[in-house]
Amino acid sequence: MSDLQDTNRRAILKTGAAAAATLPIAGFAQAGGSDEIKVATVGCGGRGRGATAQTLNVPGTKLVAVADAFRDRAEEAVSSFRQQYADKVDISADRIFDGFDGFRGAIDAADVVILTTTPGFRPQHFEYAVQQGKHVFMEKPVATDAPGIRKVLEAAKKADEKGLKVVCGLQRHYQPSYIETLAKLKEGIVGDINYGQVYWNSSGVWVRPRVEGMTEMEYQMRNWYYFNWLCGDHIVEQHVHNIDVMNWFKGGPPVKAQGMGGRQVRVGKDYGEIFDHHYVEFTYADGTVLNSQCRHQKGALNRVTEIIGCQGGKAYPGRIVDAAGKTVWRHRSKDKTSPYQIEHNELYRHIRENKPINNAYYTAASTMTAILGRMATNSGQEIKYADALAKGLSIMPKSFAWDADPGPKPGKDGLYPCAIPGKTKVMS
């Protein structure tokens, strides 16, 4: 059950959102004796707004600061929060921060911080939040390269030393159908796990075209999904959810990976350097193999799910079948609380009850697994997890400023080069 082992699972499933509402807020010592928990959001895009709304749904929380690289996005978010949560937003103009260092001011102003910028910045922001003694909710993935993962793991250890609570946005860990499916598999209902198949195949996401006058840094940050240093490629940014399920059910990450991928359909000036398809074969220590597919191609088959193959059948999210395909168990619950909300409820419950919780370790491991998959497809090589974590190259810019060099550069035709399997180097 990973991070939920220290909680009463049945209570979570029965009470859902009500759990947070019934707990005394006055026990929160770091709120300076007040029953109010001050929250700051760093990263005001769509996920930042969603995560902030879920935190503000928890009684006793108040948003006191925001930060975003772009001033316009920070101000738009504050306006939206004020309309939706008027009595829970207390943000003066001097607590709206922007630029590359704005995160510091926002984090300093709060008791709990929500880290929802583009993933490349997560290690730096998490490290600072822990340094400043703040509890953290941070979105997945938590890095885009191996050096970033190493930084997150070091910060996670320090968070434990300080008694800080950390919850991460791999929300399936808080989804009753997944929790109960794992519990049933552990009971041996269809035997041991011996393979897995996971998918994130879709038509892709938004594109933000270049606007005249933008520096290369600003353009890449506005169109961040298409640059590895910012997003990690869609195998890291999205498919980490499905890969994480297999890691969770197996009790840890794989030992090696090999695969293939490329850019076949999604080619153009606005699509940066990422691949539009990846296929990876991950192998776990006991020989179990996970076959992983992710694709961003319009008009192709869409599929986002996980299949866990066992000796005597298969497990799907919330359903288990035997070898003949007959359903032998199905999750049934009247509680429809969103797992996105449950993860925030649990963060504040652990804060108020001063119980340990730190999702950073498994989120870092699953993020690293997805990075390993990208390294395997980019290079065309079989790579060991331990080697990738220890020797994976940094893909982050050397400095951050609007006129700084972000790294990737378009050619004379306006297209960004992408990795070439068999030639691209991914490790030192």
Summarised one tens digit per residue, pLDDT across range 393-412 is 999 999 999 999 999 999 99
Asked if the model's pLDDT at residue 257 lies above 90, the reply is: yes
Q: What's the mean pLDDT in 324-347?
A: 96
Kindly report which listed range (34-38, 212-216, 413-417) carries the lowest average pLDDT score. 34-38
pLDDT at 335: 86
Q: What is the pTM of this model?
A: 0.93
Question: 2-172+338-359 with 189-335+367-391: one CATH topology?
Answer: no
List the domain boundaries for the chain.
2-172+338-359, 189-335+367-391
Residue 34's pLDDT is 57
Q: What are phi and psi of 164, to 5 degrees?
A: -80, 150
Specify whether domain 2-172+338-359 bears CATH 3.40.640.10: no
Output the pLDDT for position 359: 98
Q: What is the CATH number of domain 189-335+367-391?
A: 3.30.360.10
User: What integer pLDDT is reported at residue 5 of this predicted model?
Assistant: 34
Residues 57-81: pLDDT tens digits?
A: 999 999 999 999 999 999 999 999 9
Task: Decide if pLDDT at 4 tops 90.
Answer: no
Assess contact for 372 and 385: CB atoms under 8 A.
Answer: yes
pLDDT one-digit tens code per residue, 335-345: 889 999 999 99
Q: Is residue 141 pLDDT above 60, yes or no? A: yes
